[in-house]
Chain A
């Protein structure tokens, strides 16, 4: 029963303002739709607007705030733009990510820093920018999209895994530091999700999309890929009224990938 709010004390009230980064496609896109369905006013961010961001914003009655979060000035500017047009950010979904795969010894320093700058430092600055508003209201939710690879690592993805593991440590530290102020920080560690990225992966591997899906399924104990909606539902839970005692946790809706070999 996604999005029906069953079992939650919605009271028919608007739920506040949510900001989702990396929302042009995939799970960021699904998350924006879900949070809007759950009653949030949603601001959507991605590195640039090629039309998809504006289209999403207009579909959900929200706003588009395109910007490259790896730019130091972007975080405060995004948060200020959202505050002036929708109101202060009550829920931040830190989802935008860069990934470049290569064997460790062949990894270029620029690729390393780009992934750290977007995934980790970009969200560090964005979080710093949203905290004053959350603190003033004594309420806020920060949902950080980490990765199964941030939990168990992955060959040829050391920078990405390090950035995502860094986000888990950030989650735990912020959980402890901000919890007493009513700001709850948690993370989600998905693994294989059926998004547009699979087409890219399939092309890289020279196989069909369905063959790619099957290859990934075999790495998941439950033999299923997550849908973007599955991850959006986890975000909705962490952003919603039912998760008020969940703090500093890492939710792992990944079919068992991170605990065991498939």
Chain B
């Protein structure tokens, strides 16, 4: 458990209990930020809230608590998500489709809706949505996940334009296949045959995604609706 800062900028991070979200939370705390984590599981953050991002009321409640406690919200990192690999499109059930869209797209929308009033009040802030390299290049056997991640990009670009004339910046990070618990031990993305197709020949690390988020949060004021993709060369 890292000791939390008592002042400094404030980040709300979803999916903060594991993988990319946890890595973002760790890097922000290490860099003097205060963090609020939203996840189904407890996270190593200054304000760890267990909530489902697809629940608008629950998310709004946590964000309002964080704003009350810390006085401001400088950054939202929308990283909450899950992955279902190797399902043919014909086999994706309506329930699977709905849930994927509700968590990945709906979760991003809910969190943005919850933080925006706080950011608009101060006229500044940064939102970084975690999409996926698959949303840029497409993928054959995880269509519902890719559709949801692609929808996040459309949402990010439009929200970025909507708030363009404020100092609120909205952008996406589209990771390549990243070494997190989202990828099962027998995942196709971990197979040597696949990794050999990448110019870097390896998975992306969660820390590399956190660094991209950190860069956008601290020095990214000129990015408006852009997609930064640390993807090991998966999509060039």
Contacts and interface: CB of A to CB of B under 8 A. Distances in A.
Asked if A and B are interacting partners, one says: yes
Interface of A: 1-2, 6-8, 172, 175-176, 179-180, 221-224, 226, 230, 233-234, 237, 241-249, 251-256, 259-260
Contacts of B233: 175-176, 179, 247-248
A100 B234 CA distance: 36
B200 A222 contact: no
7 contacts: A180-B200, A243-B230, A245-B205, A245-B208, A245-B209, A245-B231, A247-B231
Query: Which among A226, A254, A255 has the highest number of chain B CB atoms within 10 Å?
Result: A255
Given A6-B32, A172-B236, A246-B230, A233 B164 contact: no
Given A6-B31, A179-B233, A248-B199, A242 B212 contact: yes
B208 A249 contact: no
B4 interface: no
A256 B161 contact: yes
Contacts of A2: 218-219
A193 to B, nearest CB: 9
B199 A179 contact: yes
Query: Which among A2, A175, A252, A256 has the highest number of chain B CB atoms within 10 Å?
Result: A256
A135 to B, nearest CB: 15
Query: Which among B157, B169, B209, B215 has the highest number of chain A CB atoms within 10 Å?
Result: B215
A243 B219 contact: no
Contacts of A8: 211
B229 interface: yes
Given A179-B199, A247-B233, A252-B223, A242 B214 contact: yes
A-B pairs, top 3 by smallest CB distance, nearest first, are A242-B211, A179-B199, A248-B236
Query: Which among B164, B205, B231 has the highest number of chain A CB atoms within 10 Å?
Result: B164
